[in-house]
Structure 1
């Protein structure tokens, strides 16, 4: 069944409901640490926060999902920085899963990111899930993180070819 999904920018009035949504959604997640909702608050209060890329999905007027893209960078071997985005967290309430909500949030995020001149996005997540959005393991590009496991660290070229020649360390 295809849901009537509305994706819109998160408002301050949504913050409390989004906090609860993330907490509830991650209760059933295979990989979690229980602090995902607090991490989202920290990101929202951080220097890399982009309100245009803090998105919620509604189904019949009820919040069903959330995604946030924040600014980060890859440090290149010469010490310069390649600006990019980090996706965290993507949350969909269990009763709304397999309805296309995660896809709708991700696609709208890519659309807005490209309009804002961002060409790449990174995340830490399940490769089996995120490959459907075009994410690939960062090690294929010569990009790594100092502590996150390579088998879950992924990158997406929002603009094809955007990671050509980009190697180094992703900051997340």
Structure 2
């Protein structure tokens, strides 16, 4: 489990990539692995140790052009994304890279994408209303923030229109 260990691709099946590492240098589960395919950086995430010093990985990008024998480097850490006030309202990919062309993200913390859920004691227990911006819904059937809502109705009654309006209102408000 040494950071910086180098392995090689032994099998590619769609977005599933098997990588072989030297004896006793297998990366930990959820570690990010990096390699270059057609001058582009490709990140793999270790999902399973499958024996014979092989790890099974999920490619977090296109695998076109990836060949057996390609060199893979273990980053020694899990994928982490920016968190904090500077990340609010921004658009990211799964690797935490901004996709909104607003420049670099100014945050002081990065959290791994695989982490335990907060303890029950840490969760807020007061019910808060989610303002949808649709007066009828807010008055007759308010939604609880963080809750779940079902949209039932027959064909052609406007479920999709209401959901699109909710998404638009909530996205522009927050």
TM-score, length basis structure 2: 0.24
Higher relative contact order (CA 8 A, sep 6+): 1
Structure with greater helix percent: 1
Structure of larger gyration radius:
2
